[in-house]
Amino acid sequence: MPHWQEKIVLVTGASRGLGRVIAETFAESGAKLVLAARGEEALNRAAAELREAGHEVLAVPTDVTDTDQVTALIERTIEHFGGLDVLVNNVGRSARGELARTPLAEVREMFELNVISVIGCTQAALPHLLKSRGHVVNIGSLASRVAPRYLGAYALSKFPLAAYSQQLRLELGSQGLHVLLVCPGPIAGDDRTRYAGENLDGLPESAAKPGGGAKISLLRPEKVAREILTACEKRRPELVLPRKARILFALSAISPRLGDWLLGRSMSSEPKNPE
């Protein structure tokens, strides 16, 4: 039997983008899906398309920053499917701006969406994931490990996912929980050149590009999704794409000064074509 056959997979932010592709990839591997997103129309459209392709899908409109809605999401999942094997915490938002001029209200908003919602969804799902010896997949970013210029509060709100993922592994890994931190670079197909809450005044034009203008190839979402499934099957702790970014992470840990210099040199360039 294929590894994911009949497994129950819940993906937040599943109506579009990487979340939608992750959900579809799990479904094509035999999993049953629970799709969650705030926009009901887009969510229902994504669910209908997946059902037309022959997949079993439950769609639950959910604002993951609302504790009551998250509780209802997990309850509906268990009522409908009887269990849960994988939680993919995919909801998140990027930003642009200078930290010195980023309003504190925006920092709070970014933490609420990119950090607190991950913790809330995970805590609600944990009893069921421990029972199934299942998986928590936290979608971070290369900015979970390094903090480039001009990303506003984004890196601030992605770094905590690395700590949270590691602590969960150490606390609950012995009980069978697998926790995967995914650190991808810019994803192809993300046509957002402006960011909510941004302040691009005085910033270079490259700051509004994917990855803040990093000299890095755009990743195809299908490749990222396939790599996530493989990493879960092998119960790996972390997935970094592109893999060469690990070199920067290691050098930054050894010498912050060298890491800053290398990161500065990697910016202010057009992103390359998708890998």
**Active site residues per annotation:** 154
CA distance 128 to 174: 16
CA distance 114 to 210: 18
Helix (H, G, I), strand (E, B) or coil at 86: strand
Is the Cα torsion angle 39, 43, 45, 46 positive or negative in sign? Answer: positive
Helix (H, G, I), strand (E, B) or coil at 183: strand
CA distance 10 to 25: 13
Is the Cα torsion angle 52, 55, 60, 66 positive or negative in sign? Answer: negative
Task: Show Cβ contacts of residue 240 under 8 Å, excluding neighbours closer than 6 positions.
Answer: 142, 145, 183, 184, 246, 249
Strand order in the sheet with 86-89: 57-61, 32-37, 8-12, 86-89, 135-139, 178-184, 238-241
Nearest-10 Cα torsion for 102, 108, 110, 112: 180
Rg of the chain over all Cα atoms, to the nearest angstrom:
18
Is the Cα torsion angle 127, 22, 191, 264 positive or negative in sign? Answer: positive
How much of the chain is helix, strand and coil, in % rounded to 5?
50, 15, 35
